[in-house]
Amino acid sequence: MSRRLSPALVLPVVVLVLALLAPNALNVTQVLLLAQAFIYAAFALSLFLLLADGGIVSFGHAAFLAAGAYGVAVATTKWNIPIGLAFLLAPVICAVLAAIIGWLSVRLTALYFAMLTLAFGQFVYSVIARVGYFGGESGLTGIPSGIVGIDPDRFYYAGLVVLAVVFVVIHLVRRAPFGLALRATRENATRADFAGLSVPRVRLAAFILSGALGGLAGALLAVTNGTVSPDLGFWTQSGTVLVMILIGGMTSMWGPIIGAIALTYGQKYIAEATPEYWQMVLGAALIGLVLFLPGGVAGGVEAAYRRLAPKPHRRAPTGEPVAER
């Protein structure tokens, strides 16, 4: 059976090629800004799985950004673990942390889940901000950068690699049986239970994966910055990543990426130009999006594409679906 070229297949390839070539055409400021945006896009994507497929809202996702970053910082500066190994250790640490937080949270109703994840997030924040071992308010410095070095282009490509890894992992998981089971728990937890699924366990697995991938983004943040500070884990960080997903939209995996890039650029240019109006602009943009484009930017683009493009065949005559959703 020949596979037709679907937008779902072509788009990532085109975007990837453009992203690979982009540093040649951009100045250092842009390259560094995009490098940062990629990290946040990876971070937003890690939460997207929980939000879009799991239908559960965590308000403490910053805990994993911080834990990943501090994991690398502590492992390299305190335990003398080589940076490469430390980088791989970070998501493992985050998975363990997520297992603990998740085990205590996933059984709760949506509201209490949100509150408890927020509380855990703040707990992690206060630990890194107050405990001397973690450097207190000033954080930790002197994190080796390993192969990433201090070259902006390498920062950029490192961000792209992490983003691509997170993108592929989440894509695979979403289309796998587990992804379907996760969406089933989102759609109807009672029916999922009476389909034989242990809803808390499915959610816990998603929470752990989400935390581990978020930790990967945090680890790279530590490497590219060379320092870590407690504000990585502050609750506003958890809010920011939710805003990124809201702006970009939850209808596809491009949403969080668009949202992360948009917010990173907004913070850089609008916030620097008019610091006093930035929050207002952001607020107005959010209100506008939620009211008029609930699917976010990606959802809007998708809807426009569907309206403009000729109707694609949804199914081959055999009933075998052609296009990936």
Partner 1 sequence: MLSAEGLAKSFGESRVVDDVALTVQAGTIVAVIGPNGAGKTTLLNLLSGFLRADAGSIGFDGRAITAMPSYRRCRAGLGRTFQQPSFFPALTPLENVQVPLLTMARKHRRMLGRARTALVGEAREILAEVGLGEAGDEPASALSYGDQRRLEIGIALGTRPRVLLLDEPMAGMSAAERRALSELMRDLRAGQGLTLVFTEHDMDVVFSLADVVHVLHQGRRLASGTPAEIRADPEVRRVYLGQEAA
What is the binding site for partner 1 (CB under 8 A)?
172-173, 175-181, 183-184, 187-188, 190-199, 202, 205, 209, 314-315, 321
- DSSP of 167-210, one letter per residue? HHHHHHHHHSHHHHHHHHHHH-HHHHHTTT--HHHHHHHHHHHH
CB of 99 to partner 1, least distance (A): 15
| Cβ-proximal residues to 238 (8 Å cutoff; 6+ apart), any chain | 58, 59, 60, 61, 62, 63, 118, 121
Q: Which is nearer to partner 1, 7 or 144 (CB)?
A: 7
Min dist CB 169 to partner 1, Å, is 8
Residue 217 in contact with residue 162, Cβ under 8 Å? Answer: yes
The conformation of residue 310, written as its DSSP 8-state character, comes to P
Q: What angle do CA 282, 283, 288 make, to 5 degrees?
A: 100
What span, in angstroms and rounded, lies between the C-alpha atoms of 116 and 132? 25
Which has the closest alpha carbon to 252: 321, 298, 312, 187? 298
Closest approach of partner 1 to the CB of residue 251, in Å: 12
**Complex with partner 1: residue 36 or 185, whichever CB lies closer:** 185
The residue among 294 and 321 lying less far from partner 1, judged by its C-beta, is: 321
Q: What is the DSSP string of 89-137?
A: HHHHHHHHHHHHHHHHHTTS-HHHHHHHHHHHHHHHHHHHHH-GGGTGG
Q: Do residues 71 and 215 touch, judged by C-beta distance below 8 A? A: yes
- Minimum Å gap between C-beta 198 and partner 1 is 5
CB of 217 to partner 1, least distance (A): 19
* Residue 116 beta carbon to partner 1: minimum distance, rounded to whole angstroms: 22
